[in-house]
Amino acid sequence: DAKTTQPPSMDCAEGRAANLPCNHSTISGNEYVYWYRQIHSQGPQYIIHGLKNNETNEMASLIITEDRKSSTLILPHATLRDTAVYYCIVREDFGNEKLTFGTGTRLTIIP
Amino acid sequence: GAVVSQHPSWVICKSGTSVKIECRSLDFQATTMFWYRQFPKQSLMLMATSNEGSKATYEQGVEKDKFLINHASLTLSTLTVTSAHPEDSSFYICSARERRGTGNTIYFGEGSWLTVV
């Protein structure tokens, strides 16, 4: 069963903010929201993760709704190198809980 | 972030032979590593979970005798594809779990392309 739902594809103009949505309506209280991206022919790259508070790092911001049923990954100033498939994954943050990948969102940055 | 390295990046082997792919955590100890396979235009599929010093746990449908996993140290796990066939041609990706404080982030290697001819 898919734990997350993402749009299959999105376009964003270079230099603009890219906002990638993710629905995770069945998330449990001890599950975190993780975001990874995969550039063509490379291994996935960790971007950010959070539990309930909004998070920001040098790559992106993560906005999680108060009910935690959805989140948005924000790339503040998209560049052509941000073209990739973005995966939203929910996972417990302890033990050996594995990452299960869905189909993700293919983000294309347009010059 | 933490660095995970795979070797080789790509390999071509003849049908019926075996090939080994290495996965190393370069700057942290990884008690748990994961092996994935990805076919063109598809998402990553988890093959097995590898724990240091114990047997790997395989996902349903993955043949443990064909995909041998060894996790002999805290920084190295290997995947051996035995008696490879053309249908085993794929992108194989490993990942390792870094435990830091209360965090538990998983980092991925660069992937290894296997072509069986």
What pLDDT score does B31 carry?
Answer: 83
Give mean pLDDT, residues A14-19: 97
Chain B residues with CB-CB distance to A under 8 A? 1, 4, 6, 32, 34, 36, 43-46, 49, 51, 91, 93, 95, 97, 102-111, 113
Say what the pLDDT of residue A72 is. Answer: 98
Give the pLDDT confidence score for residue B7 in this predicted structure: 96
pLDDT confidence bin for A10, thresholds 50/70/90: very high
pLDDT at B104 over 90: no
What average pLDDT is seen over chain A? Answer: 92
Subunit contact A46:B106, Cβ cutoff 8 A: yes
Greater pLDDT, A93 or A31: A31
Q: B3: which residues sit within 8 A by CB, 6+ positions away?
A: B25, B26, B27, B107
Residue A42 burial (C-beta neighbours within 10 Å; 0-12, 13-18, 19+): middle
Note the pLDDT tens digit of each residue in B39-53. Answer: 998 999 999 999 888
DSSP string over B7-24: E-SEEEE-TT--EEEEEE
What's the pLDDT at B29? 87
Query: Per-residue b/e over A53-80, b at no fewer than 16 CB within 10 Å?
Result: eebeeebbbbbbeeebebbbbbbeebee
Cβ contacts from A onto B, under 8 A: 53
With bands split at pLDDT 50, 70 and 90, how would you rate the model's confidence at A93?
low
Q: What is the pLDDT of residues A46-84, one digit of tens each?
A: 999 999 999 999 999 999 999 999 999 999 999 999 999
Is the pLDDT score of A96 beyond 80?
A: no
Give the span between the Cα atoms of A9 and A67, in whole angstroms.
25
A36/B108 touch (CB, cutoff 8 Å), yes or no: yes
Q: What is the pLDDT of residues B60-80, one digit of tens each?
A: 999 999 999 998 888 999 999
Q: From the candidates A33, A46, A59, A85, which should be mutated to test the interface with B, based on the most B CB atoms within 10 A?
A: A46
Residue B47 is encoded by which pair of tokens?
Answer: 């093959």
A93–B108 CB contact, under 8 Å: no
pLDDT at residue A2 above 60? no
Using only C-alpha atoms, what is the Rg of chain A? 13
Indicate if the pLDDT at residue A30 is higher than 90: no
Instruction: Classify the C-alpha dihedral B29-B35-B38-B42 as positive or negative.
Output: negative
Q: Name the residue among B32, B45, B103 with its Cβ closest to that of A96.
A: B32
Q: If you average pLDDT over every residue of chain B, what do you get?
A: 91
Residues of B in contact with A98 (CB under 8 A): 34, 46, 49
Contacts of B95 in chain A (CB under 8 A): 43-44, 99
Q: What is the reported pLDDT for B103?
A: 60
Band the pLDDT of B105: cuts 50, 70, 90: confident
pLDDT of residue B18: 97
